[in-house]
Amino acid sequence: MNPLLDFSRFRSNDDLGLALKTGSGRSVNKDGTFNVRRKGLPLVRSYELYHRLITMGGFKFLGLLLLGFLIANALFASIYLWIGMEHFVRPGGEGLLDRLLDAFFFSTQTLTTVGYGHISPKSHLVSAVAAFESLLGLLSFALATGLLYGRFSRPHAQMCFSHHALIAPYRGHTGFMFRFVNRRSNQLIEVEATVVFTLLDAATGNRQYFTLPLERSKINLFPTSWTVVHPIDEASPLHGLTAEDLRQAEAEFIILIKAFDDTFAQTIYQRTSYIADELLWGVRFRPMTSPAADGHLVMEVGLVDATEPG
């Protein structure tokens, strides 16, 4: 074993909430989700339905609403067809397609409580089914409205991290560094960064975790970008390690960003990670900001991952 991989003189953190026996692979994915697959849970989990609806992608959520709307109307249209379209006052034809379209559009008008009057029931049975459908429509649209409000009102971070982290020259030594920006125009204040270095101990098969001291772990204002730096000196667990050492030890750098969103007046979090193959050595980040003629400071968000020779 490489003697540089002996970390007995460093204090390991075993209370990070991550298992010591994780096997191979990263602990935190690039998008911030944990690389954990739960087993033994029931197939239907009603307590997780709200969480899935509130966190799924926007297009997927709208598609699910549209699908539910179509299925509900198709179901009630089938019921109306089964009862018989002779129980309706309608100007449509007697063909199957005409009766199907009339039943479907009557269902949509009832579900949304629009009621144009183009088609109307003339029997108690159809009226009872339509009354139940209108009640179901009121409840479903109230639920959809609540979900939409919850999705728009839920604060969540939109930070863009550099795809690569760097091991670059820094003040006479080297440093581990990464960069991130806020993709939104909202104001973030009291931004804090935590970097945890983890690697696999070949002797025990367990993972060790080390919280890396940073050049600056907190900034009060975050109008542009922030390059987070861990100086690699004699007191650093990274001192003397090479790219091959980190690769063999399955090293990973877990990043946790905490900030206060001034718009929502709530604290937000975002996570990501870097593995050994996502490190660049001997380069530095290109500047992202430049002054404009009108006195403004221009920041090119697309340059968050741009580097140049160090």
R_g of the chain computed on alpha carbons: 29
Cα–Cα distance, 90 to 298 (Å, whole number): 64
Domain with CATH 2.60.40.1400 in the chain: 157-309
Domain with CATH 1.10.287.70 in the chain: 46-153
Least confident span in 46-50, 141-145, 216-220: 46-50
203 burial type by CB count under 10 A (0-12 exposed, 13-18 middle, 19+ buried): exposed
> To which residue do tokens 């339905």 refer?
49
- pLDDT tens digits for range 249-294: 889 999 999 999 887 788 889 999 999 999 999 899 998 888 888 8
- pLDDT tens digits for range 15-64: 566 665 555 667 788 877 777 777 776 666 666 777 788 878 889 999 99
The second-level CATH assignment, the architecture, of 157-309 is Sandwich (2.60)
Cα–Cα distance, 258 to 192 (Å, whole number): 5
Alpha helices in 7-116 (DSSP H): 49-55, 58-83, 96-111
CATH of domain 46-153: 1.10.287.70
- Which residues sit opposite 279 in a β-bridge? 165
H-helix or E-strand spanning residue 255:
strand 252-261
Cα–Cα distance, 218 to 255 (Å, whole number): 14
